[in-house]
């Protein structure tokens, strides 16, 4: 599109449209780039709200390396992101394939299954907190009833707390995955399927050789959005476990919130969040790269 002669003419003619990009650029410079730069700047200071900032160079970053609580929260975040996103992808794919037909019942299910995704996350957290309640929760009661040993309760035991918050994330976001994959399935070309059918390919072969590669761009976008959002998980965990028991569900965002908003150590919190930002950027670049790779192939 960019390389032919008409492309050149088009570019000239449309130059006036560049003004349309001014508001978003100014806005993001002021409210996005400035905060990021401020964050980087302040991370070199020992700055607590209400006191004078002191330059400490890389002191905050060095302190971070010895901060076992933050390092632990980074690991928790990684476990959370990988487990939740993989579960959402696999489950989303299975459900999308199950629902991929035009039976009215399936259409009905498709409509209602989207509800968790638009649920206010804090409300979702509080509802699940009640369902998980160690004494009166419905899930607790029936899990015990079928003979599962859940100790004092799913969210109270160290062994199951992280799993139980991951499950809520899976509940909230799998439907989005389903919808995106379903829409992707609908837009697939028919020809490769007919050819494969003629060749007598099995269902599994068709899925792995045709459906999956063709769905790649859709899946990459879905994975990108989910991964970036999962890195930022806050509401659900805040509501259900508050990061406990102990620090078993303290994800990075929660820890940074404690440091910055409760202990008011702004400089240190900025250093911690910059490290988290690096993870986000790496994930973002990784997915965008693989998206472009898929496009060129």
Specify burial of residue 124 (Cβ count, 10 A radius: 0-12, 13-18, 19+): buried
Least Å from the CB of residue 78 to another protein: 14
Dihedral angle, C-alpha 28, 30, 33, 35, nearest 10 °: -130
Q: Which is nearer to another protein, 209 or 232 (CB)?
A: 232
Name residue 48's beta-bridge partners.
265
* Whether 136 contacts 127, CB under 8 Å: no
Q: How far, in Å, CA of 266 to CA of 39, rounded? A: 9
Q: Tokens standing for 123?
A: 């409300």
Q: Which is nearer to another protein, 147 or 186 (CB)?
A: 186
Least Å from the CB of residue 74 to another protein: 12
Least Å from the CB of residue 159 to another protein: 22
Q: Which is nearer to another protein, 161 or 219 (CB)?
A: 219
Name residue 265's beta-bridge partners.
48
Q: Which is nearer to another protein, 54 or 289 (CB)?
A: 289
**Distances, alpha carbon 7 to alpha carbons 1, 16, 40, 292, 295, in Å:** 6, 16, 40, 21, 20
Q: Which long-range contacts (CB under 8 A, 24 or more apart) does 100-106 make?
A: 100/182, 100/185
Q: Which is nearer to another protein, 155 or 158 (CB)?
A: 155
Q: Which is nearer to another protein, 38 or 58 (CB)?
A: 38
Least Å from the CB of residue 124 to another protein: 7
Q: Tokens standing for 155?
A: 């969210």
């Amino acid at each position: 599109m960019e390389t032919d002669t008409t492309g050149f003419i088009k570019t000239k003619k449309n130059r006036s449209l560049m003004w349309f990009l001014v508001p978003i650029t100014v806005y993001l410079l002021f409210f996005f780039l400035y905060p990021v730069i401020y964050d980087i700047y302040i991370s070199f200071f020992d700055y607590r709200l209400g006191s004078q900032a002191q330059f400490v160079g890389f002191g905050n970053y060095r302190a971070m390396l010895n901060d076992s609580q933050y390092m632990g929260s980074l690991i928790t975040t990684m476990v959370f992101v990988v487990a939740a996103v993989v579960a959402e992808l696999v489950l989303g794919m299975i459900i999308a394939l199950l629902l991929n037909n035009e039976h009215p019942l399936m259409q009905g299910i498709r409509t209602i299954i989207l509800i968790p995704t638009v649920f206010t996350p804090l409300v979702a957290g509080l509802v699940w907190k009640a369902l998980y309640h160690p004494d009166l929760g419905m899930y607790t009661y029936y899990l015990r009833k079928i003979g599962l040993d859940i100790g004092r309760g799913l969210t109270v035991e160290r062994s199951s707390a992280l799993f139980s918050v991951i499950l809520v994330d899976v509940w909230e976001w799998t439907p989005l995955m389903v919808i995106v994959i379903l829409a992707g399935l609908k837009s697939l070309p028919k020809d490769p399927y007919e050819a494969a059918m003629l060749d007598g390919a099995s269902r599994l072969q068709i899925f792995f050789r045709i459906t999956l590669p063709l769905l790649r761009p859709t899946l990459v976008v879905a994975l990108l959005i989910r991964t970036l959002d999962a890195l930022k998980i806050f509401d659900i965990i805040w509501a259900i476990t508050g990061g406990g028991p102990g620090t078993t569900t303290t994800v990075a965002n929660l820890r940074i919130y404690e440091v910055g908003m409760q202990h008011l150590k702004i400089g240190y919190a900025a250093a911690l969040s910059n490290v988290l930002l690096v993870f986000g950027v790496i994930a973002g670049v990784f997915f965008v790269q693989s998206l472009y790779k898929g496009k060129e192939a």
